[in-house]
Chain A
Amino acid sequence: MRVTQGTFSFLPDLTDVEIRAQIEYALKNGWAVAVEYTDEPHPRNVYWEMWGMPMFDLQDAAGAMMEVNACRQAFPDHYIKINAFDSTQGWESTRLSFIVNRPGNEPGFRVVRQETAGRNIRYAVESYAVDRPEGSRY
């Protein structure tokens, strides 16, 4: 099951040219670009690992593409996303966030039911991938 998160997530995966154009757009607006990765695809997992610091003072998308490609090389089967922060308000707010890399095989999610007091049922969503330990999921 294809994970859809962030901007453009219902479009086909972006090509490198398109990713570059999006980064160019972010830089043109004065946003700082950061690369993050994870292998825990739960929709509520907002704490992805940072691939280096957010890139301030970039003038050209080539620098960010360099980091995206380095991250892809290190984690070819992880989810990788690009965040663009707007710091002009004094606090960092995400303006744009989109996935640039995903595992070849996404096994999808199962529903876990837990029976609690009074025959009530609690529901949880869990990815099939997280059965295995971190780093060997995909």
Chain B
Amino acid sequence: MNDQAPATVDLQALLREANVLDVLEALDQELVGLAPVKQRIRDIAAYLVVSKARATLGLTGAPPSLHMSFTGNPGTGKTTVALRMAEILHRLSYVRKGHLVSVTRDDLVGQYIGHTAPKTKEVLKRALGGVLFIDEAYYLYRPENERDYGQEAIEILLQVMENQRDDLVVILAGYKDRMDTFFRSNPGMASRIAHHIDFPDYGEGELNAIAALMLDKLDYRLDAGAEAALHEYIALRRMQPNFANARSIRNALDRARLRQATRLFAAVAPVTREALQTISAADIRASRVFQGG
């Protein structure tokens, strides 16, 4: 055994030194709800710190497997959490650069024979030293077409995930059911991914909180009528098809801002600072959602 190895390691000090707590706190403040996800991220952070401590004490053991899968419906915060995860991994020096390269099938799979490998490698090279985020990863595998080039991309990906674990962390993301099918048909991929994190849909209260947070960031305010209108809007919109959680809320707010601008313009009179900030009930109630679709 190594004589120089210290006898004890202060885990809290390791955590503080890496400034990981800042990232976890930012995650808490930036993202509403998602309690199970936040807990898993904390678990993973703790696991990474412990693995580092073990290495300091000279305990053997393979470096932790870091590839992850984020499953959940659109707009549940997968990309945002992936960005934070990259930062955490960087601060604990599990990846050297800590940048996030976000890709989809189009960036990896080529259009003709021999096109896929260089394309995938190009993306991998860009992502080395950081985190590769593959959105809607299940599209890589198309069982209905046995000559689909997606399989080739998966094989190259697997090879790098296995051989260059120090250089790259891969995060796959997509709908839960489709990702499950994807993993079932690609056991090689499933066995190399250690952390599966499921992102739950937001509840109504959480969506209201998200809307408030977004408006606050954009420097807008709701008047009393608008607040009630927005709550009603969210309740109705949730029931409709194609509801994309936080993303739908963002779009709804963008449209409300558009209507507010039109309204202010139509009024001709000079506007006050307050008027520029305020979204009224009419701006929200003009939405199609209130007309039954």
Contact = CB atoms under 8 A, between A and B. Distances in A.
Contacts of A57: 126
A128 B96 CA distance: 45
A14 interface: no
Contacts of A62: 96, 128-129, 164, 167-168
A55 B130 CA distance: 16
Interface residues of A, number: 12
A108 interface: no
A63 B126 contact: yes
A60 B126 CA distance: 8
Interface string A53-80: 0010111111110110000000000000
Contact of A63 (B99, B118, B125): B125
A118 interface: no
A57 B97 CA distance: 13
B85 to A, nearest CB: 17
A61 B129 CA distance: 8
Contacts of B170: none
A58 B126 contact: yes
B124 A60 contact: no
Contacts of A58: 125-126, 128
A59 B167 contact: no
A64 B129 CA distance: 11
A52 interface: yes
A122 B129 CA distance: 53
Interface residue SS majority, chain B: loop
Given A59-B97, A59-B99, A60-B97, A52 B118 contact: yes
B258 to A, nearest CB: 35
Contacts of B128: 58-60, 62-63, 66
Interface residues of B, number: 15
A59 B130 contact: yes
A62 B127 CA distance: 10
A60 B118 contact: no
A118 to B, nearest CB: 56
Contact of A59 (B118, B121, B126, B164): B126
B192 to A, nearest CB: 19
Contacts of A55: 125
Contacts of B168: 62
Interface in B111-146: 118, 121, 124-130
A68 B167 CA distance: 16
A67 B126 CA distance: 12
> Interface centre among A52, A58, A60, by most B CB within 10 Å?
A60
A125 to B, nearest CB: 37
Contacts of B167: 60, 62
A55 B125 CA distance: 9
Nearest to B99: A59
B159 to A, nearest CB: 11
Nearest to B130: A59
Nearest to A63: B125
Contacts of B125: 55, 58, 63-64, 66-67
A16 B126 CA distance: 20
Given A59-B99, A59-B128, A62-B164, 6 more contacts: A52-B118, A58-B126, A58-B128, A59-B126, A59-B127, A60-B96
Interface of A: 52, 55, 57-64, 66-67
- A-B pairs, top 7 by smallest CB distance, nearest first, are A60-B129, A63-B125, A62-B128, A62-B167, A63-B128, A59-B97, A60-B128
30 contacts: A52-B118, A57-B126, A58-B125, A58-B126, A58-B128, A59-B97, A59-B99, A59-B126, A59-B127, A59-B128, A59-B129, A59-B130, A60-B96, A60-B97, A60-B130, A60-B167, A61-B129, A62-B96, A62-B129, A62-B164, A62-B167, A63-B124, A63-B125, A63-B126, A63-B128, A64-B125, A66-B125, A66-B128, A66-B164, A67-B125
